[in-house]
Structure formats: structure tokens, C-alpha cells
Amino acid sequence: MQLDLLPDRADSAAGNMAADFLLLQHYPAAKNARFRHYDWHRPSVTFGYSQKIAFVRDQLPALLGPDADPADLTLCRRPTGGGVVDHRDDWTYALVLPRGHDLADAPAPVSYERIHADLAAALRDLGRPATLQTTCPADADCHLISDKPGRPGRAPAGPTVCFTRAEKHDVIDPATGRKLAGAAQKRSKHGLLCQGSVDRAAVGDFDWDAFAAAFIARLAATLAAEAVPTPWPDFPEGAQETLADHYTTPEWNTFR
């Protein structure tokens, strides 16, 4: 199998969510895995598909700090599950695995653990201690990593703020327990989308280009795939713009 390494891009929150969803649903090379790292046009917070907007808004004062104005950032619901994620200082990526690959078809906790094991190993490759959280928080039934928590192998949880606590199989600092990385997933008939975030502040001073290379090498080995730099795909005309517009609407962001 080939792992397509797509160009780094920066976009709005809605544009990034639309791109990730289209990489899952409408990627021309459907049999290839695909990976991208991306940035944000302006300060953004995303939240899981199943999260209630009232909960999200209640978390913003503590998440952003006393001097921050919520009006200065973009809120956007993700197509994946998971908690509230502050993207103002993170390293963000998306990985899509095609249907039929063993890891894409595995139970959600298995794929979540395997991807995070590679991420933790990449951090260690560059001298940053990292390991996986092995237990669930005492007040939770484990992480909500899908928008369909009722499926077998998925353990639903209450709403969370991503970097305030580590869920099972998240990447943590082994000395302090501080969360370093988390992710959320969505499955469809086309495969598995994993949207992941690494907390730059928690990791500290770091060579992020070297980390990207190490992480990709680890993923490629796990997937038994050849990593190949690949141009950005040609989606159906207007598809990303139309979907991004949808992701900015109140109907999308406040429907729960």
C-alpha cells in the first residue's frame, strides 16, 4: 500500500474540517492511505461531533484564560468525535486509512492505540519522553473517539476538554502524566479518518520537522506502506468550498 504525504496547508477551521472529511469520502486514490499536517488561518477551537454547544461555550473562559476574548477565535464542530481542542498552539494532522486495511477495520480503541504508539515513539526518537495512558480516568468510561459511540468496541464518555486530562491511549509525559497528544476518529464505508493534535507547549522546544519525518516513518512501518510525497488531490469542483461553508453555519455548529 502507498501512504500519500500531502502538502502542508493552512486554512480556516471550517476549511480544514472540510478538507479532512473530503480526504475520507472523496479521495481519488481510494486504495491509498493519506496523511497531512496543517495549520490555521486564525485562532481556532474545534469540538467533537457529539458535543453540546452549551458545554463547549462554558469551557471557553477557563480554556482561553482571563485576558482572551472568545470573539477573537473560531469555533467549529468536527466531523469526528472527541472533546474540545484548542488549536492556538498545537501540531495538527489527519490520517486516513482506506477500508479493507487491517487497522482501518480494527475496533476504534485498537487503531487509536496503534497510531498513538507511533506518535509517542516518534517523540522518543527525538529525545522527548512519551508513553501512552494505560487507564481510563476514574470519572469516565474511557474516551469518546467516534461520533457513533454505540458501535461494538467503542466506549462512550462524557464531554471533555482535550488537553486538560488524558484518556486511555492518549500520549502523556511519563514523569508528570501531562497529556501531550490526543485524537478523534470517524469511520465510514470509505475507511477511517483520524484527526490528531499534539500540544506544542506541553512537548516544549522541539524540531517539529524532524518529528513529522519520524512520525511518518513510524506510521509507514505500521501500515506496511511506502510513504510518497503526493500533490493535493482534485476534489469535485466546489466541493471543499461548499462543505466549508456548511461547517460555518449555526445549523452545523449548534445542532446539539
Ordered per-residue pLDDT tens for the chain, 256 residues: 999 999 999 999 999 999 999 999 999 999 999 999 999 999 999 999 999 999 998 888 888 777 777 778 899 999 999 999 999 999 999 999 999 999 999 999 999 999 999 999 999 999 999 999 998 755 443 333 444 433 333 333 444 665 667 889 999 999 999 999 999 999 999 999 999 999 999 999 999 999 999 999 999 999 999 999 999 999 999 999 999 999 999 999 998 8
pLDDT score at 160:
63
Task: Tell how far CA 166 is from the center of its chain.
Answer: 15
pLDDT score at 163:
63
pLDDT score at 65:
79
Measured between its terminal Cα atoms, the distance across the chain in Å is 39
The answer regarding whether domain 2-248 maps to CATH 3.30.930.10 reads yes
pLDDT score at 70:
75
pLDDT score at 154:
39
pLDDT score at 164:
66
**Contact (Cβ atoms closer than 8 angstroms) between residue 111 and residue 185:** yes
pLDDT score at 68:
73
Q: In sequence order, which residues have a C-beta less than 8 Å from that of residue 114 and are 6 or more positions away?
A: 103, 106, 222
What does pTM read for this prediction? Answer: 0.89
The total of other beta-carbon atoms located within 10 Å of residue 57's CB is 14
Q: Beta strands of the chain (E only): which ranges?
A: 2-5, 9-11, 33-40, 44-47, 74-77, 85-86, 90-98, 131-132, 171-172, 179-188, 191-199, 226-229
